[in-house]
Amino acid sequence: MKLLEDKILQSGRAINEDILKVDSFINHQVDVNLMIEIGKEFAEYFKNEPITKVATIESSGISPAIMTAMALNVPMLILKKQPSKVLNDNLYQTVVTSFTKGNNYELTLSANQISENDHVLIIDDFLANGETATGAIRLIRMAHATVAGLGILIEKSFQPGREKLDAAGINVYSLARIKKMGAGFIEFIN
């Protein structure tokens, strides 16, 4: 998606070959107009899938997931990274290793919000090693629901995430695919 690639080049900052800061338009400050267009793009790409829900992992995926759910006119699920004092029974849970934070966390989904009749589109901000995406897929499958696909804003194509997901038969649609990056430069796959 050229609009997202241009925004990354204009406002993103490649710190090194692994870290891309997009905090001015995705995960600290949100460019709402960009998120609306992202939602429309995902909805158009996945329009032939019988999607009943959109899911995302808190917190950076929430904005694009909301806009995608709005464009598809379906509810949105938020997969929680932090334990809740009120959400503590009838849960699906799986352990995920965070590349960014370098630790493990327990990803949680309330069983009351999903059924085996659901076809779920997962939206996330980044795809790198694929750990978060595979954790979300595990949760959806624990509920015996169907994973309709995975929409990614920014894919680091030089890391193994897409390869893992392709091997698992997941339909991955990434809006911006980075071939390589380093301090001060970003190169996209065309």
Higher pLDDT, 104 or 122: 122
Give percent above pLDDT 90 in the chain. Answer: 82
Q: Is 131 annotated as a binding residue?
A: yes
128 is in an annotated binding site: yes
Check whether 82 has a pLDDT greater than 80: no
Enumerate domains of the chain plus CATH numbers. Answer: 2-171+178-188 (3.40.50.2020)
Q: What are phi and psi of 7, to 5 degrees?
A: -65, -40
Q: Is 27 annotated as a binding residue?
A: yes
Mean pLDDT of all residues in the chain? 93
Residue 159: per-residue pLDDT = 95
When computed from its CA atoms, the radius of gyration of the chain, rounded to whole angstroms, is 16
Higher pLDDT, 23 or 90: 23
Look-up of token digits 């991955």: 172
Decide: 165 and 188 in contact? Cβ < 8 Å: no
Find out whether 156 is annotated in a ligand binding site: yes
The model's pTM is 0.94
Task: Residue count of the chain, please give it.
Answer: 190
132 carries a ligand binding annotation: yes
The verdict on whether residue 21 carries a ligand-binding annotation is no
What's the pLDDT band for 99 if we cut at 50, 70, 90?
low
